[in-house]
Structure 1
């Protein structure tokens, strides 16, 4: 296995964030400008199950001198848990990828209405209409939009409190959703010329056996990367998933998972660098990086 040089280890790449096209609060242009101002050298917009903002993101990135990779974050169901797979460096006009993402987005409105009905049972009425006020793309209404509504109406002080009290398994407002299959999501990305990456693996409540199964099945379908440094991980996670990247011979990725200046714990470009002795994803995607002229 090849190892990264010190220079590539220290690249300020941010390859996971969200715009108004899914559940972020900034436009693709606003994110590109913020990334550049924060010293990001390689950037990707990874909206949930959607590539509708990527042409704008590319143009904005190049205008501010940012190297750019296409990206998306696809929701899949594995062992009964929602897992996110980031795709990087793919052809955004690939038909199978676009059709797959469209199918994955399907059902979000029905789920959102069920979430609102559940919240109404505990005295929180009008949540669906309230959440819609925060949605840039109605096809992608999500728990985040409900959370913003609950904060704005004073039900909770912040989004962290929302997810402690509501919208998670066993709490009012939680409704599960059947997403894409892991193999399908990885195949869409790979067949479109990109690299599939397991997003923030430290977030999932898997047993060690289930996590091992996730990694092995992901690799069997053609997955090649894992997020090691991300806004969802702590120091122990950095060490654990750096070791797993080496164990499974996966490329290592880095991304803030930035959604909003007011809500996100980690800003664009503010993460620690990748540890040494890893293969950065950008080495495997060198030919897919779009660079300013």
Structure 2
């Protein structure tokens, strides 16, 4: 896989991106990428469409999609608190019973939460229609705050998704509602049972909120975590250097990814990339689902 360009963290309209899975494949090919991972939040609904898109674009040269998902998990932060961390899961069997049940629960809870947040905003006079927002979601989409943020942008209430989060939908915003995330140790275990591998997403991205300590990452490694996402838009050079040292110490696979969401964020697809040997190692450790393409 020498010389290939790999982005292992992207989102489609099946969760909170603005590109359909087929559009995501086309965008990646046009950007000169060779491999992407489709990592929508708590759903694998986009895998089949991505596979069809890869097959349809076969004339564009070899292109592959790593099937995956991004899981929101509750995790000790190392100082006695529980925080949310994001776990990237790759190459797992989506039909593994325990995992399928948990993903179904999470999607249902996300949709209920989105509706309640939209209903509260509409009740306070914001120009959003909760029923219209829900009707616009794909059937198996988890839904989430970005969908409400986009409705606020479309209504002219805010200029961007980021502004909607900063003013209303962030963790300290008036309309924020909590959710019940999967305990991270159980998430790692379920993905392993489903033949997949796990990578901790943007672990030291302090701009996003509280982060875990290095000791917590060491504990997760002992419980089966395979890698950490180092080259991410929310990690500065000093943070990346710290994480590389930790990866060497713990023998973790290192990845790099854009965390692309289409027009919901300003990040370009392929802005950060993963070394080919890292993807090789992830594939070697998995036994659930194959790479598409």
Written as runs of structure 1 = structure 2, the 5 A alignment for 1:157-196 is 157-196=159-198
Counterpart for residue 33 of structure 2: 40
Query: Any idea what the Cα deviations from partners look like across 1:11-58, whole Å, max 9, x if unmatched?
Result: 411111111111111111111111112111222111110111112213
CA distance in structure 2 between the partners assigned to 1:50 and 1:78 by the alignment: 21
Counterpart for residue 71 of structure 2: 74
Counterpart for residue 206 of structure 1: 210
* Contact persistence 2:35–2:64 (CA under 8 A): yes
Provide the aligned C-alpha RMSD in A.
2.6
Counterpart for residue 266 of structure 2: 265
CA distance in structure 1 between the partners assigned to 2:176 and 2:209 by the alignment: 16
Structure 1 134/282 Cα, relative in aligned 2: closer, same or farther at 3 Å? farther
Q: Which runs of 4+ in 1 moved over 6 A?
A: none
Query: Any idea what the Cα deviations from partners look like across 1:224-282, whole Å, max 9, x if unmatched?
Result: 1111112333333332322222232210112211111x2322222232665xxx96243
CA distance in structure 1 between the partners assigned to 2:54 and 2:256 by the alignment: 18
CA distance in structure 2 between the partners assigned to 1:56 and 1:139 by the alignment: 14
CA distance in structure 1 between the partners assigned to 2:202 and 2:133 by the alignment: 26
Q: TM-score, normalised by structure 2?
A: 0.84
- 1:61 equivalent among 54, 65, 69: 54
Q: TM-score, normalised by structure 1?
A: 0.84
Deviates more, 1:113-122 or 1:142-151: 113-122
Gaps of 5+ in 1: 1-6
- 1:285 equivalent among 280, 283, 289: 283
* Contact persistence 2:258–2:271 (CA under 8 A): yes
Structure 1 287/82 Cα, relative in aligned 2: closer, same or farther at 3 Å? closer
Number of residues of Structure 1 aligned to a counterpart in Structure 2? 279
- 2:14 equivalent among 18, 21, 26: 21
